[in-house]
Amino acid sequence: MVKIQVLEQDETKIKVVIKGIHRSYANAIRRFAISEVPTMAIDEVVIIENSSIMYDELLAHRLGLIPLKTDLERYVLPEECDCKSPLGCPRCRVLLVLDAEAVDKTKVVYSGDLKSEDKFVKPISNSIPIVKLAPRQVIKLEAYARLGKGKEHAKWQPTTVSVLKPISEEEDTHMLYIESSGSLPASEILTKAVEILHKKLLDFLEKSKSVK
Ligand SMILES: [Zn+2]
């Protein structure tokens, strides 16, 4: 029988002991927590005005690395969305607007200056610096965030740490420790990773039935 014991848990960390499943399955859960559980990240940026010293590509890259609060109930991966539109729809993308100007003195633009159309999907912190503006410099842009997976690009990784340690090999007992980037609660990353493993195995079962 499978047993899970929670040793430590808060919003960003979870440490569990998993007993009764083979190391390869426990390791799949660890890997899926990094590479398969989706999170939101900015993926496309339309620059309307940029008179800062940072060039457009670098600015877009920096915006992509800001972890965003993610809601996996309301959003779907663009490739799984019914809209099939390259522009996306309210089910598969979120618009964030940045409109900043340094009037008469130097100004640092922070993640908190990004205004999201969805009050839940926003930077995990308001104090991540993006760019410094000199007087009279302006940045105006539209940023589109979407769900993606860590295996596609590291900016979609929901975890900063995901490790598995054997406790007792004979009894198939392992300790799994997950630390979240802040996009999702650590416990949700764990359950999603298990769900994804379950889905893949079911899919495999279905396909194997057709093999004669
Ligand atoms: Zn869509």
> What is the predicted pLDDT for the residue at 198?
95
Span from the CA of 191 to the centroid of ligand 1 (angstroms): 25
pLDDT digits (tens, 9 = 90+) for 30-45: 999 999 999 999 999 9
> What is the predicted pLDDT for the residue at 1?
87
Are 46 and 146 part of one and the same domain? yes
Span from the CA of 78 to the centroid of ligand 1 (angstroms): 6
Span from the CA of 39 to the centroid of ligand 1 (angstroms): 16
For residue 33, is it within any domain?
yes
> What is the predicted pLDDT for the residue at 136?
96
Span from the CA of 79 to the centroid of ligand 1 (angstroms): 8
For residue 52, is it within any domain?
yes
Instruction: Please report the sign of the dihedral spanned by the C-alpha atoms of residue 206, residue 82, residue 118, residue 93.
Output: positive
pLDDT digits (tens, 9 = 90+) for 82-99: 999 988 999 999 999 999
DSSP class per residue in 102-119: --SS-EEEEGGGPEESSS
For residue 119, is it within any domain?
yes
Number of DSSP helices (H) and strands (E) in the chain, helices first: 3, 10
Span from the CA of 182 to the centroid of ligand 1 (angstroms): 24
Span from the CA of 159 to the centroid of ligand 1 (angstroms): 25
Question: Can you list the residues of the chain whose pLDDT is less than 50?
Answer: none
Span from the CA of 56 to the centroid of ligand 1 (angstroms): 26
Span from the CA of 95 to the centroid of ligand 1 (angstroms): 13
168 forms beta bridges with 173
| CA nearest to 47, candidates 130, 139, 113 | 139
Are 50 and 144 part of one and the same domain? yes
Alpha-carbon distance 151 to 163, whole Å? Answer: 17
For residue 211, is it within any domain?
no
Contact, 66 vs 116, CB < 8 A? Answer: no
96 CA to centre of own chain: 16
Span from the CA of 137 to the centroid of ligand 1 (angstroms): 35
The encoded tokens of residue 140 equal 């105006």
- Sequence letter at residue 29: I
Are 87 and 140 part of one and the same domain? yes
Span from the CA of 146 to the centroid of ligand 1 (angstroms): 10
For residue 210, is it within any domain?
no
> What is the predicted pLDDT for the residue at 169?
76
CA-to-CA dists, residue 190 to 101, 133, 171, 173, angstroms: 41, 40, 22, 17
Contact, 117 vs 89, CB < 8 A? Answer: no
Span from the CA of 93 to the centroid of ligand 1 (angstroms): 7
> What is the predicted pLDDT for the residue at 24?
94
Q: How many CA atoms lie within 13 A of 130 on its CB side?
A: 31
Structural domain range at position 190? 3-37+158-204
Q: Mind spelling out the 3-state secondary structure of 13-76? A: EEEEEEECCCHHHHHHHHHHHHHCCCEEEEEEEEEEEECCCCCHHHHHHHHHCCCECCCCCCCC
Q: What is the pTM of this model?
A: 0.92
How many domains does the chain fold into?
A: 2
